[in-house]
Every structure is written in C-alpha cells, then in structure tokens.
Structure 1
Amino acid sequence: MSLIDDKWRILFDKYRIEREIEKHGRFYITADQIREVKEPRLMTKFDTRESLPRVFGKKISILPVSRGGYVLGEFDLYQDFPEIPSDIKRVTSAKIPDYFESIDLHDIRSEASAINVMSITGILDDFLGEDRMVQTVSGRMGSGNFEFYVSDYQKSEPIEKKPLIQVQNSQVEIDGGFENENVFTLIEGKNVVHSNFLIRQLYYPARLWAEKIHKPIRPVFMVYSNNIFRLLEYEFTDLRYYNSLRLVQERNYSLEEIEITLDDLYDVWARTKVKPEPAVTFIQADSFYKVISLVERLNENPMTGGEIAQLFGFKERQSDYYFNACRYLGLAEKQTDEDGVKVHITAIGRRLLKLPYRARQLEYVRLILEHPIFHDLFEAALQIGDVPDKEYVAKKMREYQVCGENLIVRRSSSVRAWLYWILTLVNEG
C-alpha cells in the first residue's frame, strides 16, 4: 500500500467518509482537513482510475469544487481511451521546417514542448481543418462559477436525477489554448501512455471558456509517445452534463519516416538469432505502448517502483509487471545506490531511443523476436496473416515452459497483445 493510500485511510476513518457518502450521497472535505495528513495537491491528483487510493474502492472518486474544497462521491469521472489507436496504419507525416535549428526530434520530453512542436509543424491546423491556429492561453486560472450533472454508478436517468455538483472558482490548469478567427481549441497534453483519463481535465476548461467567448470550443487530448502525436478531439454534447463527451475524431502524426512493410517485419524475423529464454519473470504487460512509454521515461531519470506507479496511474504491482517487461527485453534493470533501489534504463535502451522512428520500431521487434516463443508464434502469424488464437498461444507457452500453468491464461493475453502490436506497425503509405 502506498503512502497516499495510507493517508486517505486515515482521513476515511477520522471523518467516516464512506459512511457519510452512503448516507448523504457525497462528502465535502476541505484542503485544510486533507493537509492534516499530507499536502492536498499530492493527495488529490488522480489522473486515471487506477491511480485512485484503494480505500476509494471501485466507485468513489473526488473532484475539486473551490480553491479550498473537494467533494467525494460515487461519481463516474473517467473516460477510456480506445485501447489501441483507432487505426495506427493511418499515421500522417508532418515536417519541421528546415529553418528551425533549435528543435531536436529526439529531445521532445515535456508536454509543453510537444504541444509547441505540434503547433509550429502545422499538425494542429491539419487535425482541426483550420488555418493559423495561434496559442493564446496556458497555465493556471480560476474556473469561475458553474454547476453540472455527473453520472453515478447507478447511471440514474433522466439527467436531472443525477448528482448535481456546484463549482465556485476552482483552479483550472490549461496546457494550451489555441485560437483563430473561427474556433478556440483547448489542449490537454500527456507524454505518458494511459488507458483512461480524467474528464475534468477537458470539462472544467470547456466550462470556463464557454462563459467567456462566443466561438465554438474544440477540446483535444494529445498523447506524445514513441515520437507519435496521438490527437483525439472530443465534444460535450450537453455542457450541463459532465459525462456527455463524445469522441469526434482521432489521428496520429509523425515527424519521421513511418513506412514499414510486412516484408520489413519478415526480414527482421528471418535475420533475428534466437536466444535462450532469460531467467527473468515472463511478461504480464498487455500494452506494448506503455512498455515503450516507460522506457522513454526511464531515459530521463531512474525511478522507484512507487514513482512508476504514480506516473502511469498503476498499482505498485502493475509497475513491477511493466518493469519486468522492460527487463525481459534487456531495456531496464534495477540498481541499488544511496537512494535505495531504482529502475534504470540500460545501455541497450539508450541506444534504441536514439534511432529514428522506423529503425526504432524494427529494433523493438527484433528484441521481442529474440525470444524463442515469440519467434515461433510470429512465424505462425506470418503464415495466417493474423495473431494466433488464445488456445494456440497457450499451447506454445506450455511447450516453452515460460511460466506456471496457473499464469498461462492471464499472460497469454500479453503475448497476443505484443504480437498484435508488431502487426499494426505495417504502414505502407
């Protein structure tokens, strides 16, 4: 259990929060009350479902409602991303103008830098179908006063029977606001791959600016990872209703050569020399996109298991799964120093991240296919033109004895997900 979990358990016990929610439908807590155990900013930042404290269970979540207050209740506050980008084959090429000498494609680390590059390369204009979008706002500001309905876990209907939340000048942080003569777009940027996001990150800014301007507001979520800009545009079909967001469009952009053919993958498979399975824990990490994202973050600095869990919104057990996946490929290792045990990127990982996009993806493929079970299964995938079914994968896992029988079903989904990731790399222009 993490420190944040422990601190919230203290607050739940002291103020009988769960009982109050059962009785009244919600519980208001002040920043001063939270500060009794830890800084409120650290105690209330839960960008994904998985990052919520254990004591919240599967239903309770939290929203800021003023500068110094929060409300807890059985609110449905998160939205799933499409698990795999809607069509990774449709990666659109973009280019940095030659006269920008100060931009290093391999050193776009922060969300702010990614948003800046997205703007100057015309990616945002192309995505929105607009011209000359210019950044006009960013940073922290007050939300103003508004009220809204939010879904609870009973999904009560109609809307007027849903919980009503009142916000009075809560703090809002906007990563980027861009405008032209036609529209205003709000950008929420991330440089870490998650499975879901907190709707509030788009909803509160949309409510704030809907009261200030008359132009259409187009909320956009940007995820920058693996040198790919993944843009998802949403709309709120009813601004009174927090959960009314709808995905309008999604596209992926790259500033590098992206063409990878099936022949390229076959060539990597044919040339890869199979090595004995390493004496490390076999993979249990269903998202290879998150494996890549973790390697990128480790390239910036070593991290503890707890720091990995916090960054990705994992439970600590999940951070071990993704560390072990990186270790399985030779991309990460644990080292002990005066600060304790931390996960470090390896020299192999650093060299890999210096490669351009196309070569980097093929090197990830090679590292996967060095393992006998993946080399064998990918041959089957090439023959049938698809990922082998669960039964066939489980059969091969038993043959190669990669894990215990009780883990085969669970870990076979990770094997299939990695094979699927390889096949989705095919982008023949």
Structure 2
Amino acid sequence: MTEAKRSRLETPDGAMFDGYTLPYGVFSTAREEPRVGAAVGDYVIDLAPLAAVEGLDGGHVFDRPSLNPFMSLGRPAWQAVRDWLLELVTAGSPSELLEPHLVPLSDVELHMPFEVADYVDFYSSRSHAENVGKIFRPDSPSLPAAWRHLPIGYHGRSATVVPSGSEIVRPSGLRRSGDGVVFGPSNRLDIEAEVGFVVGTPSERGHPVPVDDFTEHVFGVVLVNDWSARDLQAFEYVPLGPFLGKSFATSISPWVVPLAALEHARIEPPVRDPEPAAYLAEAEPWGLDIRLEVEWNGTVVSQPPFAEMYWTPAQQLAHLTVNGAAVRTGELYASGTVSGPEKDERGSFLELSWNGSEPVVLDNGSRRSFLEDGDTVIIRATAPGPGGTRLKLGEVSGSVRPAGDSGR
C-alpha cells in the first residue's frame, strides 16, 4: 500500500491532523499514566493497547511517558509503525480493530513529547540575518563573514525547552539604559518562529553524520518558538553570542510530525553562492515548502516561508556533527527564525516592528512593538501533502507572565 492513499477515518473541518500526517505525542487521561499516541481527526490513537492486540514487535515502547524509546529503534521501525497505522486508518470509518483505541482529544492532557537530550539553534534564514544586520549593524555588512559558507548556530539549554501552552515568565537581566547598565525585566521580549528537527537514531562521537544520512537520524518535526529578550541579548552577545537572552524558554508543539509525512513538501533550496563545502553538498536536497503563520493576540501578523531557508535541515545536521560531535536520541535542533523578503513574512517582532520604529497594529486597535505581559502568541504551519492536499503541522502557543510571577 502506498502512503498516498487517503484515510477514510473522518477528519472534521477544523481538525488539526488528517489520517496521512499521523503525528506522535504523549498524552494522559484522568485515570491513566502518560503514554504514546498518534493524532487523527478529533482522536488520539492509544498505541500501547492497540499494539498489544496486534502483537506488534516492540509495541512496549508506546507504554512510556516519552517518545525516546520508540525513536531509538531507528528508521526501519519508524516506517513499519507508520505503514501499520496508515493501513489501519484506511481500513474503515474507523476499522473495528482501531475503534476501541480511539480516545477523544477533548478527554486528554498533552505532555512534553520527548526528553530533550540537547538543543542547538541555527541562523539559516538569509532574510532574517540581513534584517538583523541592518537593524543592529547599519554601518557594517549585514551578513557575518562566515554566513554563506556554513550554517551558523549556537548551543541552547535543553532544560528550558517547554511544551506548547507553557506560560513564559518575562526574564530579567542586565541591559543598557541611557548611558548606563541596569538590572531588570526585559523591555524587548520577542518571539522567533522556527521549525525544529528531532533526532531519533544517535550517532557515534568522532563520526560525522553525512549530509545524505539525514533521514536515517531525524525522526520528525516540531514547531518552535524560541522566545528572545532582545535587550539582554544585545548587551551580552559580543563576543560569544546568545546566552541569557535566549536560554529562559523555548516552546515546542506537542505533536511530532514524522519526517516521512513531509515527502511531498520537499523542494530545492535557494541557490547557494559560493558552492557549499563538500561535506554540505546534498545529493537529494532537503528544502521544505512549509508555510508558517504567526498569530499575536488573535491577529495573524506574519506568514513566514520556510522554503526561503538558505541552509537545509540535512546540512544543519551534517554541520553540527562534522567536528566529531555526537547526537543522541531526543536531541532537538531548530532552523533559526524563518523570515521571507516581504514585511508580512518576518518571523520575529524585532523585524516586524523594525526594532520598535514601526509598531504593529492588531485587530483590536492596539499597537505592539514587543511583547507585553498577558500577550499570547500562536505559531502554526502547513505543508503540501499527497494529491494536492495541504497538511497541518500543528501549533505552538505561549502567553507572557510578568517578571517574577511564578503563577502560584
């Protein structure tokens, strides 16, 4: 059976996922512990008991509060489970086998989908990098000298990667104020709309991952909001780059979309000049035609195009391991802010408001440059699917609490 066959399990209007996408997450109900499920329509497929009924080899990995045990099994297992699920959801409306194991989404609580082993964030949108350069370095070249030669990135903090819906406490730190330096809450709290890639199969230290082995190691995709305190970042970042301005929170979507579901979204990336080094040369390019959407307090303010990303996720993985660094199951690396050449394609409020000089007017008439306490941001995404369909890739949301507010 081919993956292009469409599900007959009804997908209501407004449902997040159809029977082709089949993302994985971790859920719980009122009387049971967190475990692995797959989303379809208005339901979660409870995989542990379903696998037990089917006698599925390795099915015990679904009775865990994390995707890590499943992801560690490797690509053949990922594909076998996906093929099995696709067969089940296309067997009926729903099939007699599947029906007892469908749990209404309205009855579940979603959890962090995987244990984050490590976190790296890249800087791979040319439009974003040029905009930031023009804002902060107007008298210098907008792109750093190395930018067109390699995927620039920084090492983040896995401990502050949080699930969608987590409230974000405004961070405090040192920042410039007039001619001096003060400690206090960030006045320029921002978002970064990104796409994240989740490693399933680990690599061995000292053995770089070849660029064309991307699909052997990356399990799936999440949406990312890398919250950023621009004033703290601006004061601290020379010479070693982002630190406290970034490390306080990074939100991810609760459902991990399998990489296999994005086959129809693959495209050629932008032309690179100069030619990438040999270790970054892709035989099968992994540009992705993903369209993001950024909603600020109910107003859609931007639609960043991932297709514009200069460096692909396959090149990013090859680069982060080329020095011999290993990746582990559960490692997350993010694309960096996704921005396009048009104003309504910018993936950060720093760019959208041009560092506060061009405030954004929301539908309720309020004006924003950076985030205020109580603001809510939701990032969504879609991508091409089989037969001309458009797949939803989920959403990641977060609301801002005042500095020092623990929520208690």
Q: TM-score category by the smaller chain?
A: under 0.3
Instruction: Name the structure with the higher helix share.
Output: 1
- Ranked by relative contact order (alpha carbons within 8 Å, sequence separation 6 or more), the top structure is 2
Please report the TM-score for the alignment, with normalisation by the length of structure 2: 0.27
Please report the TM-score for the alignment, with normalisation by the length of structure 1: 0.26
